[in-house]
Amino acid sequence: MIADLLETSIIISVLAATVRIATPILLAALGEMIAERSGVYNMGLEGTMLMGAFTAYIGAYYTGSLWLGVVIAMITGGLMSLIFAFMVITLKVEQIVTGLALNLLGSGLSIFWLRAAFANAGQTPTTPFFDTVPLPLLSDIPFLGPILFDQKILTYVAFLLVPATWYFLFRTRYGLELRCVGENPKALDIKGLNVAARQYAAVVFGGLMAGLGGAFLTVGSAARFVPEMTNGRGWLAIVIVIAGLWRPVPVLLATLVFSFLDALQLQIQGIGVAIPYQLLLAMPYVCAILALAIRRSHSGAPAMLGIPYWRR
């Protein structure tokens, strides 16, 4: 049965699934990368994604429009991260503790709201979900076509964000300033540039992306909301940013490794190889710890990551 895994059609389906599964994690990780570049650790990513997933679902359900659901999810993600930004940038509360509070808020609020909205329904209703949009010509390329170019729009958006964030960080003045905020905020402050405003913007961008990533989980694939459905994806995104050394392309590679594990797991279960599924499901989390334990370089982290900036 292991040999079945080597058939071309299976390989294509695993790799296409990898790209699909990567989408929400990649969106959240790229957003978190931008936030961390400004020196702020958004540990509330899990809860932000979860609220994004929930509001996209409930938004699409009530408005009947998938895209409105996506917009609502992004707004929710932005608002969650605005709370976070206010707490850690303005009030300078411990970033880890604030992040935890946001995670608990996301999990509590989404379950409560779900129960309140569908108290009388035996089962939560489903919404429609996005179809794949094969790109003309490109999707006809053998092998690569069905893997890369027969995906959903949000997937294309996520992958295009890799060069976009790279260009922003390393080729624009705003990107340079943002990196400077994470490395040496005082220098920027002395030049008369607003440190807090840049951090707010970076954190809120991270929240918008986490909301979008969350939306992909519901209106992008599952069509319904299940409590705690992010299942650690927000935390994996944080691990990916660290493993990806705060750079867009390595972040993409790290995301693909984790998603590949997940896709492989689905495929192995699908063809009924006799490995307990719990072992396969635990694999990404075990690999996350291993990835952090065996990484050689500990550089790359913004110097002021996690340290609030005080003007004195």
* Site residues for another protein per CB under 8 A: 43, 83, 87, 91-94, 96-98, 100-102, 104-105, 107-109, 111-112, 114-116, 119, 231-232, 235, 238-239, 242, 276, 278-279, 281-282, 285-286, 288-289, 292-294, 298, 310
**Sign (positive or negative) of CA dihedral 81, 63, 224, 215:** negative
Q: Which residues of 212-249 are buried (b: 16+ CB within 10 A; e: fewer)?
A: bbbbbbbbbebbbbbeebbeebbbbbbbbbbbbbbbbe
Burial group, residue 112, by CB count within 10 angstroms (0-12, 13-18, 19+) = exposed
The SS3 assignment for 133 reads strand
178 in Cβ contact with 38 (< 8 Å) = yes
Contact 261, 287 (CB under 8 A): yes
Pick between residue 54 and residue 168 the one whose CB is nearest to another protein: 54
Q: How far is the CB of 46 from another protein (least distance, A)?
A: 8
Token pair 């779900």 is found at 114
Give least dist CB 52 to another protein, A.
Answer: 16
Query: Which of 114/209 has CB closer to another protein?
Result: 114
Nearer to another protein, 141 or 289 (CB): 289
Q: What's the token pair of residue 142?
A: 């053998």
52 bridge partner residues: none
Identify which of residues 172 and 194 has a Cβ nearer to another protein in the complex.
194
Q: Which is closer to another protein, CB of 147 or CB of 237?
A: 237
Query: Which of 26-63 are b and which e, b meaning 16 or more Cβ less than 10 Å from the residue's Cβ?
Result: bbbbbbbbbbbbbbbbbbbbbbbbbbbbbbbbbbbbee
Rounded least distance, CB 253 to another protein, Å = 19
As measured in angstroms, the least distance from the Cβ of 231 to another protein is: 8
φ, ψ for residue 230 (rounded to 5)?
-70, -30
For another protein, the closer CB: 49 or 238? 238
Looking at the Cβ atoms of 50 and 180, the one nearer to another protein is 50
Instruction: State the nearest-atom distance from the C-beta of 311 to another protein, in Å.
Output: 8
Whose CA is closest to 49, among 285, 199, 208? Answer: 208
Output the smallest distance, CB 77 to another protein, in A. 17
Give me the least distance between CB of 236 and another protein, in Å please: 9
Which residue, 152 or 198, has its beta carbon nearer to another protein? 198
Tell me how far CA of residue 175 lies from CA of 47, 158, 240, in angstroms.
Answer: 27, 19, 21
Q: How far is the CB of 45 from another protein (least distance, A)?
A: 11
